[in-house]
Structure 1
Amino acid sequence: MNKISLAFSAALMMTTAAFAQTENEVPKNWHQLDKATTGYYGISLDKAYEFVKTKKLKSKTVTVAVIDSGIDTLHEDLKPVLWVNPKEIPGNGKDDDKNGYIDDVHGWNFIGGTDGRNVKEDSYEAARVYHKLKAKYGSLIPDESSLKASEKAEVEVYKKAQAKILGTGEEEGGPTVEELKEFESNVTHADSILQIAMGKKVFTGNELKALNATTDEIKKMKAALYGVMDRNKALDQTNKDFVEGLKDYVAGEVRKDDAKKNPPKEFRKEIVKDNEADINDKYYGNNDLMASTPFHGTHCSGIIGAVRDNGKGVNGIADNVRIMMIRAVPDGDEHDKDIANAIRYAVNNGAQIISMSFGKDFSPEKNWVDDAVRYAESKGVLLVHAAGNDAKNIDSADNFPNANYIDKKGRANTWITVGASGDPKNGGLTANFSNIGKKEVDVFAPGVQIYSTIPGGDTYGSASGTSMACPVVAGTAAFLLEYFPTLSAKQLKYVIEKTAQAPDIDVKVPGTADEMTQLSKLSKTGGIVNAYEAAKLAATIKGERKITKVVAPKVTKAPAKKKK
């Protein structure tokens, strides 16, 4: 999963003095601002709204599917914009619209069980692939001269998985699992002490900053927790959310380390109970969209469509949008079958744009995902995907899902891959974690220190990652489609990419200390998404989309599950 970018590993190796180095504050809505009038490298959203207002354009509702970890369905800034299935009666335990999914009022959860349990954590795809092929070929890579063509391709994947799990011996030194565990323990201990000092169990990093530490111990604990929260640009988050995020991160690293020796636990199989080897076995899951992991999906959804101008929290980018949540991404790597079915669910239920902030290094059933992507394109749906947070060049490094079809028959024409940009005032114009690619990354968009909705009903905070840049583009696409509803998915892609603005300064190459270059060397367009310029171009284009009332298709009722 392309998680929110975290610097826990780096922070572990740094001193308390380094923690004290803070970056300049930026406005909470910096990503929406206009460079010419404010100096911040945002998407010029206010100018875009002014433009459509001068054109006297009225908006039409656009449905955006967010394939993610879940959503806080009760959040004050999201509840009014949740997609509602018009043919489903809430809570009656029936499949009213006969689409195979019971009580799918606001979307569907493909990683849940019919008994109400949900997949929270899962293994990594590299581990799943490695141990599956190890069982077939053994620990040693077989002599390829004796293999069939199909087996040679499989062995190439095995080599990559083996290198990913066991390492190549050339990796730079980093924190060990034991060091990470110790780091987690120290941060957790500091948090427990600071809860007493603060006089409350839950507080934000900014509130902690204002704490007057009266003893050396409190000063030390404050420096430890505040330092790592500041390093991760998480001062708007609560200590509770941040520490839980740290625990999830460390747990993931522990699972990675364990995968070197042991086959990964089949978390999903024990709960979902479908036949994962059969893509046609698609009527599984439940309607619990919040589950126990709603942070990521809630944050992404708010970026797209949090209610504008209601005097609460944040303004989303699109002002007339409905968010359809499809839960398919655990804490770990998503499964190809769930992503394929999530895309099809979104398309079949009227989504016009799909936002996908997840990704992985291996995709054993990519053909299933490709078929779903082709289906989405055939129905005129735009797919927006996060480029990933590994500071790698995905022109050469594997990154899934992607626009390239595995059968070599072209690539998706309604797909946008998004890298993360920042601002010189919050760390640099390119995010130091963002993946790049002259061929594979289409555009950049703000993805550093993005303020949005987080679980808690009325809670907000900042997060960073290409996971945040992706919904910035999805939200911009939704805004454009609202006011220019005849634009096809291909035209939306064209408009967004054609008007991306090349920065007026060189940028740092992510993952390097000080290597500078032009953004055009790191992405196809060489630009940052700009809603205002996109709206101006959209106004000059004759749309190809026919305006029809969106109605969920009639689907034959799902066959009854066989008892096991």
Structure 2
Amino acid sequence: MIFQTKKSVLASLAIGFWLASSAQTSVNEVPKGWHLKDLNSDGLYGISLDKAYDFLKNKKSNTVIVAVIDSGIDTLHEDLKPVLWTNPKEIPGNGKDDDKNGYVDDVHGWNFIGGKDGRNVKEDSYEAARVYHKFKAKFENVSDTASLSKEDLYTYKMWKKAEKQVTGGGKESGLELLILKRTFQAAVKNDTILQKAIGKPTYSGRDLEAFTPTTDEQKKAKTSLLIFFTSNNVMDMTNTALMDDFKNYLDSEEKKAEAADKAPKDYRGEIVKDNYDDFNDRYYGNNDVMANTPFHGTHVSGIIAAARNNGKGIDGIANNVKIMAVRAVPDGDEHDKDVALAIRYAVDNGAKVINMSFGKGFSPEKQWVDDAVKYAASKGVLLVHAAGNDAANVDSVENYPNPLFKDESGKAANWITVGASGDPKAGGLVASFSNYGKKEVDVFAPGVKIYSSIPGGNTYGDAQGTSMASPVVAGVAALILSYYPNLTPQQVKSVIENSAVKTDLKVVSPGSDESVSLSDLSVTGGILNAFEAVKLADSISSGKSQPAKANQPKAQKAMK
């Protein structure tokens, strides 16, 4: 999805779109699947996957289950059907809980934001609005916090932050929303003109680029709409997908604007019908893991494990993986209870890696999620999480879920936070939208213009975000565990971090024009490399070495 940047950034882009500016971002093309390539042989800052497989070619692999907690997965996609996890203890379609795990007919996973009547949550509210209105009556007249308990003080501070975010937009936010509305109206008009001019209702950015207008009206429409395709590196995206993405973003911003005066609608509660405040009320949802919003999860799943060497579409990273679909992410902010139960479901059903390409700025039930993370650690499960797309420093800006335990008992050691890298020829080595953090972002991985599966059965396209970088790391983690199953989650994390390849190239710090070292933006100061990772994993697995706190000198040289 392309509308994953700060509102102010999108508003600036929208102004240019609205005014039909002819100035377009000039970005060199990178080939499909560039993120799998090698710097030395291909000249691209990918993860050197072919070299990794060459190193592993005479070794035996074991099947690894990777859970994708996301918006849903197209279970009928040609590149995903062969790699879907199937619950061996469940008889499909018999309406019974054959394996007695509390979830009926959970054949390929479970949908925690569905109803027993078959309906599914598509859109939802934002956590800031939920927090603000839930605790408003309790805290709005508090002037002295000295009498508050430790737990109430924690909640009060969270509420004050939500209050500022929900009510502090002012005239600037109102102007940005007005611009977005007018931009969308102009986009709809231009799209209608272009559909008629091109002669078909659905066209890609490349189709639009190749189209030759015959009237001034068509020329203006092409110039205006092409800005979004080129500026976001989504030339393979269709006009319908682009417009849907824009409309969803506009709807979300309108909901945020309404939140100051109006409590958000309980989208989830009306469908799921659980007792949300009771964590033990956990056997809700349905088995529709595709539901009606599978774009994001389908794209993420393809990056990890799309069937390799089948002559179709793309090759995923890991070659002996089964994807478990766990739906918990709506169009809006996910709920902590659903996230915590999704993690527990994945662990209980055999996942060894869990990908989490989602996030939000508030976590009112963080303890539930923390307990699930600790449970995953106790069962030897690695969690991989996207750092977020706000060009923010998450050392100081909250982004949830995160590995820092609310009870101050420490930090999860089975957790990797991933920032998004790119290629210098296509916008920079660090993605301009990526969150970063010298303490809290562990490693960067390709997340710009990533080509993968999208809903439609045999359809593929580009997307970008830390949402795409996280499954690149999850795929490499699964690859490592497939060949070296004796490694613990902590060892796999250490392998990925200590094999990350450094560079002497200066990068632009996201959200600024400042030139910095990659070590200023992450723990490792490096970019994921599958080849270096499997070499180090092999050495550790065989007992030849232990992870060191430095990168391979040869690898460092290769990246200069």
Tell me by how many angstroms 1:519 deviates.
0.5
How many Å separate the matches in 1 of 2:535 and 2:320? 19
Following superposition of structure 1 onto structure 2, how do residues 507-522 of structure 1 map, counting pairs within 5 Å?
507-512=507-512, 514-522=513-521
Give the Cα–Cα distance (whole angstroms) in 2 for the partners of residues 5 and 300 of structure 1. 18
Inter-CA distance 504–175: structure 2 relative to 1 (3 Å threshold): farther
Contact map agreement 2:443 2:522 (CA 8 A) in 1: yes
Residue equivalent to 2:76: 74
Whether the 8 Å contact between 1:313 and 1:458 is mirrored in structure 2 is yes
Determine the C-alpha separation between the residues in 2 that align with 1:20 and 1:515. 23
Among 113, 123, 127, the residue aligned to 2:129: 127
Q: 1:558 maps to what in 2?
A: none
Aligned partners of 2:3 and 2:245 also within 8 Å: no
1:48 aligned to which of 41, 45, 52: 52
The residue number in structure 2 matching 1:319 is: 319
Look up the match of 2:36. Answer: 32
Report matched runs for 1:510-549 at 5 Å: 510-512=510-512, 514-542=513-541
Instruction: Give the drift of 1:260.
Output: 1.1
Task: Give a deviation string over 1:373-395, Cα, whole Å, max 9, x none.
Answer: 00000000000000001111111
Q: State the secondary structure of the residue aligned to 1:277.
A: coil
Write the distance in 2 (CA, Å) between the matches of 1:212 and 1:2.
Answer: 26
Normalising by the residue count of structure 1, what TM-score does the alignment of the two structures yield? 0.93
90-99 vs 343-352, greater mean Cα deviation: 90-99
Name the residue aligned to 1:143: 144
Report the CA distance shift for 1:289/1:5 in structure 2 as closer, same or farther (over 3 A). farther
Q: Give the corresponding residue for 2:335.
A: 335
Structure 1 letter corresponding to 2:32: K
**Distance (Å, rounded) in 1 between the aligned partners of 2:322 and 2:370:** 26
Count matched residues.
Answer: 539
| Alpha-carbon distance change, 149 to 379 in structure 1, aligned in 2, over 3 angstroms | closer
What SS does the aligned partner of 2:325 have?
A: strand
Please give the alpha-carbon distance, in whole angstroms, between the structure 2 residues aligned to 1:97 and 1:174.
Answer: 52
- The gaps in structure 2 that reach 5 residues or longer are 544-560
Matches within 5 A, 1:217-256: 217-256=217-256
Conserved 8 A contact 1:2-1:358? no
1:306 alignment partner in structure 2: 306
Q: CA deviation at 1:149?
A: 3.7
Matches of 1:486 and 1:328 in 2, distance apart?
Answer: 30
TM-score after normalising by structure 2: 0.93
Deviation at 1:396, TM superposition (A): 1.1
Residues 2 and 463 of structure 2 are in contact (CA less than 8 Å); yes or no, is this contact kept in structure 1? no
2:113 alignment counterpart: 111
**Aligned 8 A contact 1:64 1:355 in 2:** yes
Question: In 2, are the aligned partners of 1:32 and 1:45 still within 8 Å (CA)?
Answer: yes
Question: Match for residue 159 of structure 2?
Answer: 158
Give the C-alpha shift of residue 270 in structure 1: 0.3
Q: What is the CA–CA distance in structure 2 between the aligned matches of 1:261 and 1:543, rounded to whole Å?
A: 61
Deviation, 1:424, is: 0.9
Equivalent in the alignment of 2:556: none
Change (3 A) 1:454 1:10: farther
2:546 aligns with none
- Percent of matched pairs sharing the same residue: 60
* Residue number among 83, 86, 100 corresponding to 1:84 in the alignment: 86
Distance in 2 separating the partners of 1:162 and 1:5: 22
User: Once the 2 structures are TM-superposed, how far is the Cα of residue 183 of structure 1 from its aligned partner?
Assistant: 1.1
SS in 2 for 1:541: helix
The 3 A distance-change label for structure 1 pair 23 and 120 is: same
* Alpha-carbon distance in 2 for matches of 1:431, 1:411: 26
Q: How does 1:377-388 map to 2 (within 5 A)?
A: 377-388=377-388
Q: Answer yes or no: is the 8 Å Cα contact 1:2–1:386 preserved in 2.
A: no
1:390-539 map, 5 Å: 390-512=390-512, 514-539=513-538
How many Å apart are 1:543 and its aligned residue?
Answer: 6.9
Deviations 1:15-47 (A, max 9, x none): 534553331010111111111122211111111
Does the 8 A contact of 2:2 with 2:245 survive in 1? no
Shift of 1:274: 0.3
Residue range with higher mean Cα deviation, 467-476 or 142-151: 142-151
- How large is the RMSD of aligned CA atoms in angstroms? 1.8
1:392 to 1:379, Cα distance in 2 relative to 1, 3 A: same
Amino acid of the structure 1 residue aligned with 2:199: G
Answer whether contact 1:4 1:296 (CA < 8 A) is retained.
Answer: no
The SS at the match of 1:345 is: helix
- Structure 2 counterpart of 1:79, which letter? K
Quickly say closer, same or farther: Cα 1:105–1:252, change in 2 above 3 A.
same
Pair 1:309–1:149, CA change in 2 (3 A): closer
The one-letter amino acid paired with 1:102 is V
Q: Deviations over 1:495-537 (max 9, x none)?
A: 000100112301100000x201101011000000000000111
- Alpha-carbon displacement from aligned partner over 1:118-144 (angstroms, at most 9, x marks no partner): 111101001100111112223x55222
Contact 2:72 / 2:289 at 8 angstroms: preserved in 1?
A: yes
Paired with 1:338 and 1:210, the residues of 2 have a C-alpha distance of 45
C-alpha deviation, 1:314, in angstroms: 0.9
2:339 aligned counterpart, secondary structure: helix
How much does 1:8 deviate?
3.8
C-alpha distance in structure 2 between counterparts of 1:238 and 1:404, whole Å: 40
Provide closer, same or farther for how the CA distance between residues 496 and 149 of structure 1 changes in structure 2, counting only shifts above 3 A: closer
SS in 1 for 2:453: strand
Unaligned stretches of 5+ residues in structure 1: 545-564
Q: Distance in 1 between matches of 2:449 and 2:4?
A: 10
